[in-house]
Every structure is written in C-alpha cells, then in structure tokens.
Amino acid sequence: MNAPKPLYEGKAKLIYPTDDPLVLRAYFKDDATAFNAQKKGSITDKGEINCTVSSYLFRHLESDGIATHWIDQPSPREMRVRAVKIVPLEVVVRNIAAGSLCQQTGIPLGTPLEEPLVDFYFKDDALGDPLLTRDRILLMKVATEEQIDQLKTLSLMVNKHLSAFFKTCDITLVDFKLEYGLDSDGQMLLADEISPDTCRLWDTLETDPERRVMDKDRFRKDLGSVEEAYRRVLARVMAHC
Ligand code: UDP
C-alpha cells in the first residue's frame, strides 16, 4: 500500500488526511528553521518532544474550557487534530520584552510588561510575516472586527492558563505565538502547536541570560545544548501535568 501523500508540508510539520474528512494527522519533523527559513538545521527528537509538549498543553487548555483542534496523540510524533481552515494570522502574546519587540521599540530585553501585549502578524512567508495593525487586518479582510476581538480574548485566556501552568514547572512564559482556525461548524479553535519552537521559555531557577533559555532561541542564537533544553521542558511539563 502506498503511503498517503501529505496535504501540506510546513517547516516543522506534515499534514496528512485520514479516512474521516473532519480529522487530520499532523506529523512533527525534527527540521528547525529560523529567520524566515534563512537558517536551517535539525534538532534531534524535536518532533517527538514538540508533539508531546503540544499534546499536554492542548489537553490542559481543553480541560480549562478552551476549544482546540487537538484530538489525541496516537504515536510520539503524531497528533490527530480537527480539520480547520487556518486564519492567516500569527497571534503573539508577550509578558516580558524579548525578540522583535526589543528590536523594534528599544525596550530592553527582560523588561516585564505592565499588561500582556497582543500582536498580530500576517502569516505569509513571501512577505516575511509582517506585523499588522487592526486597521490593516480589516483592510486585508483577513478577519472581522469580531474575530479580532475574539482572537485577542482567547489568546489572553491562553496566556493566563499557560503562564500559571509553566510557573508550576519553574518556567517563565516570556512570549509565544498562537494560530487559530475555523472548524466545519465555524467555531474558532486554537490550532497548530505550542512548544519550545513557538514559545520563549526561561528557566526560573537560572539568572544567567543565556543559561536560562529553554526554547528555540538556543538554535536561533547558536547557544548550544538545544536538544537538552527541549528535553528539560518536556520533563518538567510531564512532571506537572
Ligand atoms: N514565533 C513563532 N513563529 C514565528 C515568529 C515568532 O513561533 O514565525 C514566536 C517566537 O518563538 C516567540 C514569539 O513568537 O516566542 C515572539 O517572536 P518575535 O516576534 O519576538 O520574533 P523573533 O524574535 O522570534 O523573530
């Protein structure tokens, strides 16, 4: 029997159809990219780690009443998910200044934000995922006013739950990126993944600005011990779920 063809291949995942048109299978790869795929590499066992961390976090959020696309994790690198039409926005929630926020505003790295900041980016590799304003989102008809408000409210709820959860793991949730999609009933579901690839996670027990980094910044900035950091996140999440 021929292996099914993926419906879609992204930078970190392959999406396959299943016998049920309402269900898809996401296969997590070890491939790692950064800076809009200008930097490419691979992180050993990343696929398994990110699939497992994402599954734990989606299940945790579901139990807190947040609707996600997650169904189950039939094997270490595979997640069954509800089929959704992805809203082409990356929703970033920030608790502490890091990354592009520091570069674009001059706010020093590590500055705690008085209130969580929600930023929207256009999910478009060719355009380099630009930062959008509310008016540009409406101009482009990427989402309605109501959907923008809904995405912001949901993302702040996710932030509240994940920040509290990671705190129990001695991890500070600095910032993270979420994606959403609409299911066949038009319900907005949290989609994609939540993992050390998509979150900035700092070890609360470490003060050294390089040693505390437990996420993809280790790969982006060549800090070394990338796989070990991802494994430590997995171990702490599994111990506290
Ligand atoms: N992020 C992501 N995918 C992207 C861009 C950002 O998962 O294509 C995550 C990133 O890991 C971080 C947060 O979103 O946790 C904020 O990223 P930022 O805008 O600071 O950009 P970066 O510095 O990562 O380029």
User: What domains appear along the chain, each with residue ranges and CATH number?
Assistant: 8-82 (3.30.200.20), 85-221 (3.30.470.20)
Question: In angstroms, what is the span from residue 144 Cα to ligand 1's centroid?
Answer: 24
Q: Is 164 in a helix, a strand, or coil?
A: helix
CB-count exposure of residue 241 (10 Å: 0-12, 13-18, 19+): middle
Question: In angstroms, what is the span from residue 180 Cα to ligand 1's centroid?
Answer: 16
Q: How confident is the model at residue 240 (pLDDT cuts 50, 70, 90)?
A: confident
Q: Which letter does DSSP use for residue 126 in this model?
A: G
Residue range 220-241: average pLDDT? Answer: 95
Q: How confident is the model at residue 241 (pLDDT cuts 50, 70, 90)?
A: low
Q: What is the pTM of this model?
A: 0.97
Q: Are 59 and 52 in contact (CB under 8 A)?
A: no
Tell me: pLDDT of 16 over 80: yes
| Pocket residue to mutate for ligand 1, from 101, 198, 213, 214, most atoms within 8 A of Cβ | 198
Question: In angstroms, what is the span from residue 215 Cα to ligand 1's centroid?
Answer: 11
Residue range 142-170: average pLDDT? Answer: 98
Question: How far is Cα 241 from Cα 237, in angstroms, rounded to an integer?
Answer: 6
